[in-house]
Amino acid sequence: MEKNLIINNRKISFCDEKNLLEVIRKENIELPTFCYHSELSAYGACRLCMVEVEGRGILPACSTPPEAGMKIKTNNEQIREMRKIIVELLLANHDKQCTTCRKSETCRLQTLARRLGIDSIRFKHVGKKEPKDLSTHALVRDPNKCVLCGDCVRFCEEIQSVGAIDFANRGPKSAVCPSFGKNLQDSECVYCGQCARVCPTGALTPKSEVSYVWKALSDPKKKVAVAIAPAVRAAIGEAFGLPGENGSEAAGKIVTALRSMGFDRVFDISFTADMTIVEEANEFVERLGSGKNMPQFTSCCPAWVKFVEQYYPDMIQNLSSCRSPQGMFGSIVKEMLPKQLEIAKEDLVIVSVMPCTAKKFEARRPELSKGGVQDVDYVLTTQEFARMIEESGLRFAELEPSAFDMPFGFKTGGGVIFGNSGGVTEAVLRNVAGSGNAGADEIERFDFVRGEDGIREAEVNVGGKELKIAVVYGLKNARKIVRGIKADKNKYDFIEVMACPGGCIGGAGQPVYNDMQTRKTRTKVLYENDKTLELHKPQDNPYVQKIYENFLGKPGGSLAHEYLHSKHSHKKRLKEKPFTVYKPRKENKLNINVCFGVNCMEKGAQKLLKQILDFVGTQDYKDNVGVDASFCFEKCSKGPVVRIGNKTVEKCDIEKAEEAINEEIKNIKC
């Protein structure tokens, strides 16, 4: 039911908008804000979206619900002065090296300073310069540019349920940082990079590898091959004022740009996306037949894989063993291309252009290398690629399209839609349903897995068998699904998981976006690209078929496993020594260590720790007992786990703990 209010003397209708900010923006009034994102909870930290509500005074628009009859002013002298003071205070302690900042073009602080007409800062700089965190291959954290808006903190917790970064300290010492003041590499970060996407300044940015790629291109001894991911063609146009450009045309311009830069071969990751589907579908059929390790999770998203490895190691066997398309590309091309070019393998440099920051981490996983040499040498984000185009002086919009090099440039529509949430599932279903060219009706047969919701479920009959499928994006949604499976509440056969909202098209390496329409446009581009291609089922890719015939043998065979699959293993959440919970008053003769890994925490480790502390505190030997907490004993299926002296107690409760403590104390006294 529509209601009305007054904004700047204009009668405005509203319906289901959850706050004044959304109503005001609907009327094409851009209220400034740092801390508001429609994907996240209202936080109200920056106070920039203040408006005057008649009879109520100055209120934050982001946390004030609209009511019929309200009379609102969005811009008067008092509000303008408040906003200027807020921005000046932020600028006072800000690292103002804007010309060299990676976020310069999309920095909201810089934009607001210009909008508000700030030409001087009346406040002194009192902050202490902090070192940059360069510990990961995926992200750079610069605390000197943080404005404490909390966007990164809320995204990491509310959408990803990881909580790798949070607020610490108080007052002027307030900061956003990883747990225990560690760097990102030693935190729970899964490198999805969504914190960098929502960061309004340059406090969090993707880590650039542009200089390394230029160096490789300049080395006459090297041949450099590059491949672009499906989602890149859906977003690169945005960086050059071409939103919504046809995916095929954008891909052709990308090929021309890459060749102009000096790349020796230009390929399409969609080729190995086709190959991934062939392997993953084969693996799925085998699991269905045996009933083992079901449901099958996809493994093409490296942030999701790391999430499983560190939070749910007992579910690792449910992950597909297939490498991601990037992983398969590096492995196959580094094996086959040197022979075609008649060069040594060490003289071939492989570069991938990805929408994702986690792909930088994935490329350096030891499982994706041979003899200590990475299969993929460098990973560029879409943002970095756009920067290289600009550095080259190329007018991207005016470039004539070119064709990819063969054979690794040929793809089907099933490989292209990989970039969308639901695309992997749809491609697998097309494969399992059988070969043969597909018309428009056949393409749309499995489009029920498409959509905007973070969790989508479907049942489909394939070959007379009913399959239950889930498509998930956002790791918090993935956690819900996993918990439901572990509690026997949900039964699935196949589950696709992508960490980023909307899938790879919403990756943190893509051009920065703030509205959902941009994401929808990217999604549409890939589906439209699928329709324009001659083939739509990955198994019908003739060049993929030839590689199996001439090199790999059959899907799922020994050579296919060597080059196209990898193993996943338990990764500790935090690289951290045990922290002391209870110190003995005298000599520490008995040490008790409680596992605080995720599985043990879910099974009651925190409550058990308190019970142990209460027990120790009531005993006459408490002066000689110390209690610590560790982050993982790697016995996740047997939690809670407690180490008492030299004895490890699995599936521990307070009765078992008391018995073991008393026994160990006796042994010490003896």
Torsion sign over Cα 646, 651, 656, 658: positive
**Could you give the dihedral angle defined by the CA atoms of residues 249, 255, 258 and 260, in that order, rounded to the nearest 10 degrees?**
-90
- Greatest pairwise CA separation for the chain in angstroms: 87
What is the spatial distance between Cα 516 and Cα 311, in angstroms, rounded to a whole number? Answer: 30
Residue 55: how many other CB atoms lie within 10 Å: 7
What is the spatial distance between Cα 599 and Cα 632, in angstroms, rounded to a whole number? Answer: 9
Closest CA to 226 of 92, 103, 349: 349
Residue 174: how many other CB atoms lie within 10 Å: 11
Q: Contact, 487 vs 207, CB < 8 A?
A: no
Q: What's 295's DSSP letter?
A: S
User: How is 357-406 classified by DSSP, letter by letter?
Assistant: SHHHHHHT-GGGEETTEESS-EEEEHHHHHHHHHHHT--GGGPPP-PPPS
> How big is the chain, counted in residues?
670
Q: Is the peptide bond before 640 cis (omega within 30 degrees of 0)?
A: yes
Exposed/middle/buried for residue 170 (C-beta within 10 Å: 0-12, 13-18, 19+): exposed
What is the spatial distance between Cα 372 and Cα 533, in angstroms, rounded to a whole number? Answer: 38
Q: Contact, 467 vs 444, CB < 8 A?
A: no
Closest CA to 299 of 316, 275, 286: 316
Tokens (6 digits) for 165? 């970064």
What is the spatial distance between Cα 490 and Cα 555, in angstroms, rounded to a whole number? Answer: 30
Cα→Cα distances 657→560, 603, 610, 644, 653, Å: 48, 15, 12, 8, 6
| Strand residues in 474-512 grouped as ranges (E) | 494-498
Q: Contact, 595 vs 640, CB < 8 A?
A: yes
Task: List the beta bridge partners of residue 205.
Answer: 140
The helix, strand and coil proportions of the chain, stated in percent and rounded to the nearest 5, come to 45, 15, 40
Torsion sign over Cα 529, 533, 535, 538: negative
Q: Is the peptide bond before 538 cis (omega within 30 degrees of 0)?
A: no
**Three-class SS of residue 624?**
helix
Which residues are the active-site residues? Answer: 280, 283, 300, 320, 359, 362, 367, 504
Cα of first residue to Cα of last residue in the chain, in angstroms, is: 79
Q: How far is CA 610 from the centre of its chain?
A: 35
Q: Contact, 160 vs 192, CB < 8 A?
A: yes
